[in-house]
């Protein structure tokens, strides 16, 4: 049997990474439809708005310039998106104490519970997956993900 090329390996990783991404997206969508509906909820938001919320959630708080870079959108687009999410009570925008020209964004306390429901559903899905994989395979997966994280963290530096 022929040794796989770097391109073959990259394609395989990318394809299976998309499967995991799609699984998470499917769970997000189901949660938004089932448990996060009504006025002031995150259930009626666009995919890009959900991405923005989750990016802010992962970091606790984020400066507007950093958020636009994370989302790959212009600062004006990020600002408009944040404006709409602030109006809905999902995000909170405040000026930095150190530099009043800089604005930081965080998730509002009212939206945290809805986001936690989504995170719990995703975590439960991965718990089920780990049980089906078995502990040894899951441990190997964790070791590989740890190496991937180191490479990606080094890129950030």
**Cβ–Cβ < 8 Å for 64, 75:** yes
Rounded (10°) angle between helices 64-71 and 75-87: 110
Which CATH architecture fits 6-156? Answer: Orthogonal Bundle (1.10)
Averages of pLDDT over each 10 residues, the chain, 157 residues: 89 92 81 63 71 88 90 91 90 82 86 84 89 94 94 86
**What pTM did the predictor assign?**
0.67
Rounded (10°) angle between helices 47-59 and 75-87: 90
Collapse the DSSP code of 95 into the 3-class scheme (helix H, G, I; strand E, B; otherwise coil) and give the result: strand
pLDDT value at residue 82: 93
Q: Which residues of 5-14 are buried (b: 16+ CB within 10 A; e: fewer)?
A: eeeeeeeeee
Radius of gyration of the chain from its Cα atoms, rounded to whole angstroms: 19
Collapse the DSSP code of 105 into the 3-class scheme (helix H, G, I; strand E, B; otherwise coil) and give the result: strand
pLDDT digits (tens, 9 = 90+) for 33-69: 666 656 555 666 777 888 888 889 988 889 888 999 9
Report the alpha-carbon distance of residue 65 to residue 145 in Å, rounded. 28
């Amino acid at each position: 049997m022929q040794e796989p090329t770097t391109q073959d390996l990259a394609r395989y990783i990318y394809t299976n990474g998309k499967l995991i991404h799609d699984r998470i997206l499917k769970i997000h969508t189901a949660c938004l439809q089932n448990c996060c509906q009504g006025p002031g909820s995150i259930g009626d938001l666009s995919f890009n708005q959900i991405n923005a919320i989750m990016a802010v959630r992962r970091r606790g708080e984020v400066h507007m310039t950093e958020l636009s870079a994370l989302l790959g959108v212009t600062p004006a687009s990020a600002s408009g998106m944040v404006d709409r999410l602030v109006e809905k009570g999902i995000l909170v925008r405040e000026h930095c104490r150190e530099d009043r020209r800089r604005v930081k964004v965080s998730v509002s306390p009212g939206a945290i519970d809805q986001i936690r429901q989504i995170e719990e559903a995703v975590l439960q899905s991965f718990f089920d997956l780990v049980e089906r994989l078995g502990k040894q395979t899951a441990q190997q997966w964790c070791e590989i993900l740890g190496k991937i994280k180191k490479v990606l963290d080094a890129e950030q530096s």
